[in-house]
Structure 1
Amino acid sequence: MKIRRLANEERPTTSWRLQSYAFEPSPTQPDEVARFHDFLPYLADSITLVVQDGDETLAAVSAIPMRQNVRGVVHPMAGISGVASHPLARRQGHVRTLLTQLLGELRDEGYAVSSLYPFRPSFYARFGYAALPQPRTVSFSPADLGEWLRADLPGELRLQRIRDGYDTYRGFTERLVASRHGFCVLPDSRAVHLRDDDKRWLVSASHEGEVIGAVTYRIDDHGGTLRADDLLTVGPLGRALLLQFFARHVDQVARISAIVAADETPELWAADLATHTESTVAFPGAVAPMARLLTLDGLHGLPTGPGRVRVEIVDDPLLAGSYLLDGTDGQLTVSRADAPALPAATLTAAGISALVYGVADPDDLPLRGFGTVPPSAATQLRSLFPRTTPHLSTTF
């Protein structure tokens, strides 16, 4: 058996056969094969490892080179995808071997963090991934937005096919990745599929020449539902303008649905707005995202609260070791120097990742089996990494 990295043109006869069996209706039909060949240019920057026994591909794992904001700093991020194995080669350790090697290679190539949507969270927790909040879907009647329809709002709305408005949308997401914790963007080579596929409308909201909100959407039928993707805004005015746009569909659709961040509160958007907001997690089809650090040294300069603590990272080939984390100047410095007089904590990779992404309090970690955190160390870690809510866009 051998492990190797694929060239893009090799995918149709190697990794894609496994991935299509795992994630697509099967047996694969001829039109699906043609569709995948057409999709190859969008995979040009993806990294795929396979394990093969002779000419037979037994398992594959892929990474999409992305960028993600972690507490205000944009890092190279590896979006893990396409993890699949041959049905007769499952539970033989092939995926574990491939994923371990891929994560190590990605770290060595400069990727600081990694995110994914798991088929089973407990499997990826063993690889150091921590669970992140699931974005929520809110649905409501456009008739309940009457107050926004009557509002005299500053700003402008623009409606375009996504192929025509793609540059506007891409530019807006680039602004968001620079400012919003957890937000991530695809590489240009992959992102343009949204434009080329051209199956969405784009409405953008602007004020004084600056885009302040945007959402892509489709309408499934007259009297049906306007299905919006991520509702992206940089403030209340952007959201208000987009809600006003939705209100104008009162005589066209019965419902509006939109994807919002986990900390959004749609029930406060309007006085008489009756909403149904849900966050569904089910296996294997509706799972919450996960993320992990691939390096601690790469987090130098991360904005932090004041704190100084020593952490010992255990049971992880990428992060294992003793680190001094110092945020006394408002920016994180990471060193390997021992500091026995400081408060100390023992953490797993999932434990430190949960703290950095802001989804856990230090007191949570021992309860989850993510480490040992004495009270003195918990105080320092809580100051360094206050709780915050990351939002991964669903374009990932």
Structure 2
Amino acid sequence: MEIRQIAATERTDTMFPLQTYAFRPSPGADADRETYAQRMQYYRTAVSLIAEEGGRTLAGVGAFPMRQNVRDVVHDMAGVASVTTDPSARRRGFVRALVGRLLHEMHDRGCTVSALYPFRPSFYGRFGFVGLPRFRTATFAPEGLSGLLRADLPGEVERLAMREGFDDFDALTLRLLGERHGFSVFDEVRTAEFRESPARWVAIARVDGEVVGAVAYRIDDFGGDLVADDLLVTGPLGRALLLQFFARHVDQVARIVMKVGADDVPELWGTDLAVLTEGRVAFPNRGGPMARLLSMEALTGTATSATGAVTVEVADDEFIGGRYRLAGEGGRLIVEQCKDEPAATLTCSGISALAYGVLDPVEVVTRGFGQVDAAAIGPLTALFPRRMPYMFADF
């Protein structure tokens, strides 16, 4: 097996056949290949690796340079994607070797966190990744929001084609990157593709000229569904303006189907709102995201109200393995390597779960991600309080 990095222009001849077989109905049409080749202009900054044997491409992986908010600090992130293997090469270690090499490459480029959508979480758990919550889907009839039609709300909502409203939409995502835990965005090269494809409307809510909410959506048919992407808002007023806009579709669509975060409560959006809020996870194609730390020191500066300190050891990880003193000082987390005796020994998945706020120290132990002394539970809980991340970008 030979592993080599390829340019975006080489993906069509090497990775495209693997991806279409793995992720698309097959055999595919020639037009699919042409469309893929045209899209490669948006992959120029992606890092793409392939594994070859006898001159034949048998597996491939890629990573997009991204940014992600982790507890209100924005990190450079490696978004792992395009993980594919030819059936003849599966279970021979090709993907394991490629993912390991890819993480090294992205770490060397300065990425301090990484995330992906797994085909099998246990496979990526061996690389130190831990599960994050998958988005929820709220499904409801627009008449359930009828009460909002009587509300006199300051502000307005404008409906635009995505290519016309993209700049405002993109600016809002960049604002939320700095405000919302777990939120992630692509770099400018990859983001540019979404201006034109796929074709969608975007509803943009403004108050005194300031964008306070946006949601991309499509309508599948008269009397059918209005299918909305992520409900992106800066606060309750932005949400109310967008929901009021959707309420005006009462005689056009039967249902509204919308992506929401794990901390959203759609049943409280209206008095008589009958809503199905569903979080569905299935494999290989509907997995929740996973993430991991690629640097411990990069957590320095994270906001915390804790004032205590605890020493932890991260075991058996080539990127963040070692002993660290974690301390809350002046409202910020300080992370320093040390030689003190640890009060907790954690895997990469364990410390990543604490950093992302998806597990508390007791759950880290019960999940098999490490051992924590009783005296360390309180300090670790204070340093890393539970907080549900919402990962916006889907890759």
Aligned to 2:177: 177
- Per the TM alignment, residue 305 of structure 1 is displaced from its structure 2 partner at its CA by 3.2
Residue-by-residue CA offset, 1:138-191 (whole Å, 9 max, x unaligned): 011111111101111111111100000000000000000011000011111111
1:163, 1:198 within 8 Å by CA — same for their partners in 2?
Answer: no
- Per the TM alignment, residue 118 of structure 1 is displaced from its structure 2 partner at its CA by 0.3
Aligned to 1:323: 324
Aligned to 1:167: 167
What is the aligned-residue RMSD (CA, Å)?
1.1
2:9, 2:37 within 8 Å by CA — same for their partners in 1?
Answer: no
- Per the TM alignment, residue 308 of structure 1 is displaced from its structure 2 partner at its CA by 1.0
Aligned to 1:36: 36
The one-letter amino acid of 1:5's match is Q
Whole-angstrom CA distance in 1 between matches of 2:305 and 2:381: 8
- Shifted more, 98-107 versus 296-305: the winner is 296-305
Aligned to 2:3: 3
Q: Does 1:314 align with 2:331?
A: no
2:225, 2:256 within 8 Å by CA — same for their partners in 1?
Answer: yes
- Per the TM alignment, residue 268 of structure 1 is displaced from its structure 2 partner at its CA by 0.3
Residue-by-residue CA offset, 1:292-333 (whole Å, 9 max, x unaligned): 001112222111232311111112221111111122332122
Residue-by-residue CA offset, 1:75-132 (whole Å, 9 max, x unaligned): 1011100111111011011111111111112112100101111001111111101101
Whole-angstrom CA distance in 1 between matches of 2:108 and 2:189: 23
SS of match in other structure, 1:363: helix
Whole-angstrom CA distance in 1 between matches of 2:305 and 2:124: 29
- Per the TM alignment, residue 255 of structure 1 is displaced from its structure 2 partner at its CA by 0.5
The one-letter amino acid of 2:337's match is R
Q: Does 1:384 align with 2:383?
A: yes
The one-letter amino acid of 2:359's match is A
Q: TM-score, normalised by structure 2?
A: 0.98
SS of match in other structure, 1:137: strand
1:51, 1:58 within 8 Å by CA — same for their partners in 2?
Answer: yes
1:213, 1:233 within 8 Å by CA — same for their partners in 2?
Answer: yes
- Per the TM alignment, residue 394 of structure 1 is displaced from its structure 2 partner at its CA by 4.6
Aligned to 1:360: 359
Unaligned runs of 5+ in 2: none
Q: TM-score, normalised by structure 1?
A: 0.97
- Shifted more, 159-168 versus 290-299: the winner is 290-299
1:161, 1:198 within 8 Å by CA — same for their partners in 2?
Answer: no
Which of structure 1's runs of 4+ aligned residues deviate more than 6 A?
none
Aligned to 1:230: 230
Unaligned runs of 5+ in 1: none
Number of residues of Structure 1 aligned to a counterpart in Structure 2: 394
Aligned to 1:104: 104
Q: Does 1:349 align with 2:332?
A: no
Residues 186-197 of structure 1 correspond to what in structure 2 (within 5 A)? Answer: 186-197=186-197
Whole-angstrom CA distance in 2 between matches of 1:394 and 1:220: 23
Aligned to 1:149: 149
Q: Does 1:91 align with 2:84?
A: no
The one-letter amino acid of 2:392's match is S
Residue-by-residue CA offset, 1:328-380 (whole Å, 9 max, x unaligned): 3321222112223xx61000000000000000010011211100011111111
Whole-angstrom CA distance in 2 between matches of 1:377 and 1:174: 36
Structure-2 change in CA distance of 1:344 and 1:78 (3 Å): same
Residue-by-residue CA offset, 1:373-393 (whole Å, 9 max, x unaligned): 111111111111000010011
Residues 260-339 of structure 1 correspond to what in structure 2 (within 5 A)? Answer: 260-306=260-306, 307-339=308-340
1:305, 1:385 within 8 Å by CA — same for their partners in 2?
Answer: no
SS of match in other structure, 1:301: coil
Q: Does 1:206 align with 2:206?
A: yes
Whole-angstrom CA distance in 2 between matches of 1:53 and 1:298: 38
The one-letter amino acid of 1:364's match is E
- Per the TM alignment, residue 198 of structure 1 is displaced from its structure 2 partner at its CA by 5.1
Whole-angstrom CA distance in 2 between matches of 1:310 and 1:104: 26
Whole-angstrom CA distance in 2 between matches of 1:121 and 1:294: 18
Whole-angstrom CA distance in 2 between matches of 1:331 and 1:137: 35
2:291, 2:352 within 8 Å by CA — same for their partners in 1?
Answer: yes
Whole-angstrom CA distance in 2 between matches of 1:75 and 1:124: 21
SS of match in other structure, 1:49: strand
Q: Percent identity?
A: 52
